[in-house]
Structure 1
């Protein structure tokens, strides 16, 4: 009996050690899964966050009036990892409410050359979980066109009218950086806020985005319009549905062409076109694309006189690379420090060609358009895919939007990317709710807000 008991204890010990080993091994691997066919993020390379990416850089702390930041959090029991991280972010945010800089609710009127007018934010719902943050700054920007068939004129007649905020700031620029805004946005990690970046770095970085081009996505519309009343934008994903589509000329005929990540055009012009006016990326997805799609001919972002580079900031490295590109200096740290930014963006890169998405806009897209069911459990790692942000930014910017290379219900008929030389099944990743994204494209298409390219 004693021998049997010892054997049982040994077996339990070995099983426990094996479980610990498997758990540690899984934590080191990227998050991925296979799910039933409905959606793919074919326009984006694997950019799943590592464990190191999930941490937040500690904000400058102060012990003055800490309880005033969020008294409810002080007594609230953090029952989930998300709630604990949120509480830490709010407690660590500096109390800068006594600063003389303009407040979040300032109603300061600016003329058209200075920038949009900032209006007060609407208060959040009392029952809103702290990690959601469904409250946003408003930038009142006069429409650039008088298009009578613009999306902004039609959206209220569709099911999306209640979700759509016409005055949400899409881009962040120098005048958005105030102590009050930092205190508000440092609550949110990753691309949804400023918790990953120190205030000084934020100031120094966004100070270079100080011109009209910094807050206007279509900054050259007056020159490009050619007397057209409506701005027409093509948003091009990298999906295999574009292979042999012969849509290249149609895509290039638009005023603006948005592309993302592994946007290979050389050799594929007949199907995907050759022009790129707006290239959306994060530093992470750009580097992953250069590694993953080198064989297909992707060497880096497209470079041309008309190309603008729109950063989707996931980490402080995005802010540092953006400043380095604007000043044509080396990035002080991170994987990009080994290369001069002109090697990525060309010798003519300048602040006028650089833009950066506003955290409010990304959080708004998550909360209003692409909010997963299990948001509280995954909010720190989840965000809309880079291609989804790009398409929805065009929806909020352009008068008319055509989408190519995005997932459709018959996606199994096509390879993952249009540049694949052999058939590759579509990949699915855990940091985007891909099923939700495909459903949204279908809904927007049927509502008449976008024209989605489909073979069927």
Structure 2
């Protein structure tokens, strides 16, 4: 029996944003539902519980006087859920939760996955013992963060010192900082990645000096479980055994973290949080087309919204701006200039407009450049 039987208890049938407003109308489900397949849907399927999310059991309470969460912007206040649950761990998946999340395609749920295979990995994920970030001493209770993307706008920007001046610096994907510190800084506090970023970057960015993912002392790693291969990676990583199946078979995942892997500083984003980012902020019209199953926000988008939900002040660097065509695809391209590639699985223009809107409404600051190459 599927979880389609979940019914809102609110009189107007309005989604309230977390599971506390929902209750089953029949007996609890005791077995996993039959596997659902993407090919059986011509566009993104709509569920009554599509916009229902697990809340954080101990949401962060900010005392920062200028926190972004004190905004009066109506659109952000309507869309944002301050206490959205961010991370998945060993207590996150039981049969009931599986049957809810099995209705959503990856990385927003477990559609097409096998219950036993995924649960074996999830059961190894440690429950976070503390919030992702804390205010620094003498910070007036504020957590100040920089989120650094890989866009070419940072090429020649001289923003490195400003980036590193933040309390925490988020980075994602193929991060190359050595030799580029003047433009992008060298500090990394939180590195957000799927397994693919770690493995593929060794090939794609080797010529630019990429040797390993960031491994600053005390760094926190946050994983995006974007596909079944990530759960296979997780099982190998957390059990300290070679991956037993899938594209990473025989890999030793812990060796990719350059000696800085610590399960107490390792987090896995919850599919609910990823779906919330898509549904509330980046719901592309492409989801109504035949390629719906691969359409999703970029890893940079997920990282930026993670920062918005864990920091009080967020400054974004290296993200797409309206004048993106002036710059190379990546900031590492000093001697060549490849154009930005628009892959079908991401709505880059929608993301670009979203960053500009968040900047214009003072939710965050987006690094932009004038024709002279100076800040705006």
Cα distance change, pair 324–305 in 1 and its aligned pair in 2 (3 A): farther
Asked whether the 8 Å contact 1:325–1:349 carries over to 2, the reply is no
Inter-partner Cα distance in structure 1 for 2:97 and 2:234: 20
Give the Å deviation of 1:419: 0.4
The structure whose Rg is larger is: 1
2:356 pairs with 1:442: yes
Deviation at 1:400, TM superposition (A): 0.5
- Distance (whole Å) between structure 1 residues aligned to residue 28 and residue 86 of structure 2: 25
Q: Which residue of structure 2 lines up, in the alignment, with residue 188 of structure 1?
A: 104
- How far apart, CA to CA, are the structure 1 residues paired with 2:326 and 2:244? 45
1:131 offset after TM fit, Å? 9.0
Over 3 Å counting, the alpha-carbon distance change for 1:96 and 1:332 in structure 2 is farther
Deviates more, 1:225-234 or 1:398-407: 225-234
Aligned to 1:289: 201
Structure number having the greater helix percentage: 1
Q: 2:219 corresponds to which residue?
A: 307
Change (3 A) 1:279 1:196: farther
1:388 corresponds to: 301
Task: Say yes or no: does 1:244 pair with 2:156.
Answer: yes
4+ residue stretches of structure 1 with deviation over 6 A? none
CA contact (8 A) 1:326 1:354 kept: no
Q: Secondary structure at the match of 1:180?
A: helix
Structure 2 residue corresponding to 1:418, chosen from 331, 348, 368: 331
Distance 2:54 2:366 in 1: 30
Report the equivalent of 2:262: 350
Asked if the contact 1:258–1:276 (Cα under 8 Å) also holds between the matched residues in 2, the reply is yes
TM-score for both structures, normalised by structure 2: 0.83
Aligned: 1:270 with 2:185: no
Deviations 1:201-260 (A, max 9, x none): 3333223333434x7322xx26xx123210011000001111111111111111111111
Deviations 1:372-399 (A, max 9, x none): 1232323311110010110111111111
Matched, 1:139 2:52: no
Runs of 5+ consecutive residues of structure 1 not aligned to the other structure:
1-65, 73-94, 101-127
Give the alignment of 1:188-227 within 5 angstroms: 188-213=104-129, 216-218=131-133, 221=134, 225-227=136-138
Structure 2 partner of 1:365: 277
Say which SS state the counterpart of residue 270 (structure 1) adopts: helix
Contact 1:248–1:273, Cα closer than 8 Å, also in 2: yes
Q: Is the 8 A contact 1:321 1:341 kept in 2?
A: yes
2:47 matched residue in structure 1: 130
Aligned to 1:28: none
Is this contact kept in 2: 1:256–1:276, CA < 8 A?
A: yes
RMSD of aligned Cα (Å): 2.4
Partner Cα separation in structure 2 for residue 139 and residue 345 of structure 1: 28
Corresponding residue number in structure 2 for 1:97: 28
> Contact 1:370–1:437 (CA<8 Å) still a contact in 2?
yes
Task: Provide, for residues 282-336 of structure 1, a one-character-per-residue CA deviation record: whole Å limited to 9, x for no partner.
Answer: 1223333222211111233111222222111121221221232233321112233
Work out the CA distance in 2 between the residues paired with 1:130 and 1:396. 25
1:376 equivalent in alignment to 2:288: yes
Which structure would you say has the larger RCO, counting Cα contacts within 8 Å and 6 or more residues apart? 1
1:430 matched to 2:344? yes
User: Which whole-Å CA distance do the structure 2 matches of 1:432 and 1:231 have between them?
Assistant: 30
Separation in 2 of the partners of 1:208 and 1:162? 35
Preserved CA contact (<8 Å) 1:131 1:379: no
Unaligned 5+ runs, structure 2: 7-25, 32-44, 371-376
1:33-80 deviation digits (Å, cap 9, x = unpaired): xxxxxxxxxxxxxxxxxxxxxxxxxxxxxxxxx3x64479xxxxxxxx
Q: 1:132: how far off?
A: 8.1
Give the deviation of 1:444 after TM superposition. 0.1
